[in-house]
Amino acid sequence: MIALEQKIWKWKAASGDMPASTEEVQDWIARETTLTVVVNGSELVSFSSSPDHCQDLALGFLFTEGVITSRGDIARLHHDVSADRVEVDLAEGIDFKPAEWNRTRTLTSGCGQGVQLNVPPNPRRMIKDEEPLIVDATYFRRLFSNLRAFSVWYERTGCIHQSTLVPIPGAPIIREDIGRHNAVDKAIGAGLAAGVNFGHSLLSTTGRLSSDMTSKAARAGIPMIVSRSAPTSLAVAIAEDAGMTLIGFVRGPRINIYTHPHRINLNPTDANVSSDDA
Residue 159 falls in the annotated catalytic set = no
Query: Which residue among the candidates 29, 94, 111, 134 is catalytic per the annotation?
Result: 111
Cβ–Cβ under 8 Å, residues 160 and 186: no
3-state SS track over the chain: CCEEEEEEEEEECCECCECCEEEEEEEEEECCEEEEEEECCEEEEEEEECCCCHHHHHHHHHHHCCCCCCHHHEEEEEEEHHHCEEEEEECCCCCCCHHHHHHHEEECCCCCCCEEECCCCCHHHCCCCCCCCCEECCHHHHHHHHHHHHCHHHHHHCCCEEEEEEECCCCCEEEEECCHHHHHHHHHHHHHHHCCCHHHEEEEECCCECHHHHHHHHHHCCCEEEECCCECHHHHHHHHHHCCEEEEEEECCEEEECCCHHHEECCHHHCCCHHHHC
Cα separation, 227 vs 221, in Å, equals 18
Q: Which residues are catalytic?
A: 111
